Amino acid sequence: MPEGASPQETKGQPGIRQAALFGLCPQQCGEKTLFASGIQFASRCRVCGLDYSRFNVGDGPAGFLTLIIGAVMVALAIWLDVAASPPFWVHALLWVPLTIAAVVGGLRVSKAALLAAEYRNRAGEAVSTSSDDEDSDA
Ligand SMILES: [Zn+2]
């Protein structure tokens, strides 16, 4: 083992950053097949057939992201109020859609990033296929 960080050949695969930003399949095909709709993963890649349901990303990113975005939005709202003191409806009109967009966009990116990272590292349940005859010689 040369480095231990990347045991698999990574040629042809999209980078984790690209896969996260555009919802790309982490396998060689690199097509935009990761999301079925909104923030819902597709069950498998429509092009190469990679089974996305093997990867368990979980709800880890959701809580973390919501807290961060909430803090950022409150800071921005306070700043706007101090700087320009707009009427209240401006805040309602501005921050509600902006927060939703930030949460949905952030969730897509973070979930895709986690899945791509899991694919790279073959983490968790992803290795539990019985037909695999390669075993971990750690
Ligand atoms: Zn694919």
Going from the Cα of 34 to the center of ligand 1, the distance in angstroms, rounded, reads: 8
Distance CA 83, CA 20 (A): 35
Going from the Cα of 44 to the center of ligand 1, the distance in angstroms, rounded, reads: 8
Q: Is there a domain that residue 20 lies in? A: yes
Going from the Cα of 65 to the center of ligand 1, the distance in angstroms, rounded, reads: 27
pLDDT digits (tens, 9 = 90+) for 67-100: 999 999 999 999 999 999 999 999 999 999 999 9
Extract the residue ranges of the chain whose pLDDT is less than 50: 1-9, 125-128, 130-134, 136-138
Contact 126, 118 (CB under 8 A): yes
Q: Is there a domain that residue 46 lies in? A: yes
Going from the Cα of 105 to the center of ligand 1, the distance in angstroms, rounded, reads: 22
Going from the Cα of 24 to the center of ligand 1, the distance in angstroms, rounded, reads: 8
pLDDT in the model for residue 7? 43
Give the residue from 6, 34, 4, 5 showing the smallest Cα distance to 19. Answer: 34
When divided into structural domains, the chain yields a total of 1
pLDDT in the model for residue 11? 60
pLDDT in the model for residue 102? 93
Going from the Cα of 4 to the center of ligand 1, the distance in angstroms, rounded, reads: 25
Model confidence pTM above 0.75: no
Q: Is there a domain that residue 116 lies in? A: yes
Going from the Cα of 83 to the center of ligand 1, the distance in angstroms, rounded, reads: 48
Q: Is there a domain that residue 129 lies in? A: no
Q: Which domain holds residue 56?
A: 7-124
**Angle between helix 88-121 and 60-84 (nearest 10):** 150
Going from the Cα of 133 to the center of ligand 1, the distance in angstroms, rounded, reads: 22
Q: How far is CA 76 from CA 81, 84, 95, 98, in A?
A: 9, 12, 9, 11
